Amino acid sequence: MCARLNSSVAMNPFNYLIVAGILLLTACAQAPLRAGPVQSAEPQAEAALVLPNVELSDELLYEFLLTEIAHQRGHKALAVQGSVNIARKTRDPRLAKRAAQLAFESGDMVKSIEAFRQWQEVEPASPLAGRMLASILLRGGKPEEAQPELAKVLEAEKANLGSGFMQIFQMLAPYPDKPAALKLMRELAQPYPQVAEAHWSVAQLAQQAGDDALALNEVRQARGLRPEWDMAVLLEAQLLQKNAPQQALEVLRRYLSDYPDAREIRLQYARTLLEQKQYPQARAEFQRLAKDSPENPDLAFAIALISLQMNDLQDAEAQLRQALGKGKKDQDTVQYYLGQLGEAKENEGEALAHYREVKGGEYQFGARLRVAYLLGKRGKLDEAREYLQQTQATNNQQRVQLVLIEAQLLREAKRPEDAYQVLQQGLAKLPNHPDLLYEAAMQADKIGKPDVFEQLIRTLIRIKPDHAHAYNALGYSLLERNERIAEAVELVEKALQLAPDDAAIMDSVGWGYYRSGRLDESLRLLRRAFAGNPDPEVAAHLGEVLWVHGDKDEARKIWQDSLKAHPGNVPLQNTIKKFIP
């Protein structure tokens, strides 16, 4: 055939310059367009090809050239149609594969399905053709048509069914219709009950579809078939974590008792302990992992954060400095947490030094806020405000944070009017931001501007009608001023409907009932509020209602205990003086 090819070219010297490209594309020099022995870099992969005995005529060569030039020049539809036609004429599996490739690259779903079906017809033994056809059918939202193609792939790969199911799972995992993907996988898995990967794949897709009971049943079957398989253990623990966290821990612990060197399982065990706030046990597991990987800075960093949570500042510092010294962990992150550690140690100078070393990354903005706060705390208010004003915000939420921090610094410096002005300036730029509206309203109330306070709070309620604390703030303000009591009670009751477990709102409703003369209801709510949050102002309210109700001894005890814990609380002191001069 190569001789015949050369004679054809001799008849058309115009084509001579591009023959080399044709030879490379079709591998004609090694594999002629007819049945016969194939010489290839992968003889086993190519040996199964059944090649047609087709004359490479001038017409066929011209069509091929036209197709390839069209492809190179971006005429996708022409290239696809030409390649499909050539493959149909020659029934050459290599050209059928090329046609399928061009159709796939064009994005034409109909042509792609046609081309891959043609390739599959010409080369029925190709598992790639079946997988690709199934993939395209799935992309086109045709799982029912994809199912028989995938079944053929599994039938052809019986010697490696586990790998086949894992590949099919990767195809189905991103499919948007999760129940349809699960149904398809269950149909594929049904003939193979002894294949652990089949059960695992069903379990994964069941989890995605929200059927945790099915997922748990399937993954346990997978584990029964392959008890040593760590991926099945991880999935079972993940499924149990939501509703049975202790069982999840037990699954991981039992596996580790049999396979103590299973690093991924131990890492998941450590993370699960951490999620369940079992900090000493979690730290011990991370320390064991770190002992086996002493150069891993992420493990040292994890141990440091757990130690911080446990208030073991000495170990936290040692681990953070170890992570910093290894130079592999993100240095900005480590510096930020060293700053947090400095604050925990009440060493503001050290904390400032570390925060200033955060030059980029996700913690840079937070570090700058902490620098400003600590400067203000040290009495350097002007420097703190200038530092905030020089801080670049990348979104509105960060812009709001800058305003709120500056206002907080001014409040703590006993400059409430200036704090109000800063909040007003922030509102001028972001007039409908809920956080700014709330803080500006509360500040207006503190400086004696009740009309402005109410106007801002009502604006906030209009913008965000589910803002429980806005209703509570307005209602409680009216109660404190002893104005429009019925309306005030309605407002705080609305707040409690939106946040039924909020102790501060319970206190407001209880106080409203007291103002309305409903002492028994008031006591019931105030006791709940005090149990949930023994705040000195709640203690003041509860004590007052108890006193009026006739339970003076209990009122005295609550006031005295709260005063011992909060000796400087002015509202509590004033309430006590009102009844015990």
Please report the pLDDT score of residue 150 as a whole number: 85
Identity of residue 49: L
Query: Rounded to an integer, what distance in angstroms lies between the CA atom of residue 167 and that of residue 135?
Result: 11
Q: What's CA 130's distance to the chain center, in Å?
A: 34
Please report the pLDDT score of residue 135 as a whole number: 76
Helix-helix angle 76-90:93-106, to 10 degrees? 160
Tens-binned pLDDT, residue by residue, of the chain (581 aa):
333 333 333 323 223 223 223 323 333 333 333 333 323 333 334 445 666 666 666 666 656 666 777 667 766 676 667 666 666 666 666 766 776 666 666 666 676 676 667 666 676 767 676 677 777 777 778 888 888 888 888 887 788 899 989 988 988 888 899 999 999 999 999 999 999 999 999 999 999 999 999 999 999 999 999 999 999 999 999 999 888 999 999 999 999 999 999 999 999 999 899 888 899 999 999 989 988 888 777 888 888 888 888 888 888 888 888 877 766 568 888 899 999 999 988 999 999 999 999 998 889 999 999 999 999 999 999 999 999 999 999 999 999 999 999 999 999 999 999 999 999 999 999 999 999 999 999 999 999 999 999 999 999 999 999 999 999 999 999 999 999 999 999 999 999 999 999 999 999 999 999 999 999 999 999 999 999 999 999 999 999 999 999 999 999 999 999 999 999 899 999 999 999 87
Please report the pLDDT score of residue 297 as a whole number: 79
Q: Pick left, alpha or beta for residue 484 (phi over 0 → left; psi -120 to 50 → alpha; otherwise beta).
A: left
Assess contact for 409 and 372: CB atoms under 8 A.
yes
Identity of residue 545: V
Task: Pick the closest to residue 304 from 275, 335, 328 (CA basis).
Answer: 335
- List CB contacts of 81: < 8 A, sequence separation 6 or more: 111
Please report the pLDDT score of residue 82 as a whole number: 64
Rounded to 5 degrees, φ, ψ at 310 are -85, 0
Assess contact for 31 and 74: CB atoms under 8 A.
no
Query: Rounded to an integer, what distance in angstroms lies between the CA atom of residue 40 and that of residue 288?
Result: 51
Please report the pLDDT score of residue 43 as a whole number: 35
Q: What is the dihedral of CA 30, 32, 38, 43, to 10 degrees?
A: 60
Q: What is the DSSP string of 216-271?
A: HHHHHHHHHH-TT-HHHHHHHHHHHHHH-HHHHHHHHHHHHHH-TT-HHHHHHHHH
Task: Pick the closest to residue 406 from 369, 456, 433, 443 (CA basis).
Answer: 369
**What residue ranges do the domains of the chain occupy?**
1-125
| CB-side neighbour CA atoms (13 Å) of 158 | 5
Burial state string for 5-27 with b = 16 or more CB within 10 A and e = fewer than 16: beebbeeeeebeeebeebeeebe
Please report the pLDDT score of residue 57 as a whole number: 63
Query: Rounded to an integer, what distance in angstroms lies between the CA atom of residue 428 and that of residue 406?
Result: 16
Tokens matching residue 51: 């090649």
Query: Rounded to an integer, what distance in angstroms lies between the CA atom of residue 123 and that of residue 97?
Result: 9
Query: Rounded to an integer, what distance in angstroms lies between the CA atom of residue 133 and that of residue 121?
Result: 12
Give me the count of residues in the chain: 581
Please report the pLDDT score of residue 59 as a whole number: 64
CATH for the 1-125 domain, from 1.25.40.10, 1.10.150.120, 2.102.10.10, 3.10.310.10: 1.25.40.10
The residue written with tokens 């891959």 in the block is: 116
Assess contact for 324 and 331: CB atoms under 8 A.
yes
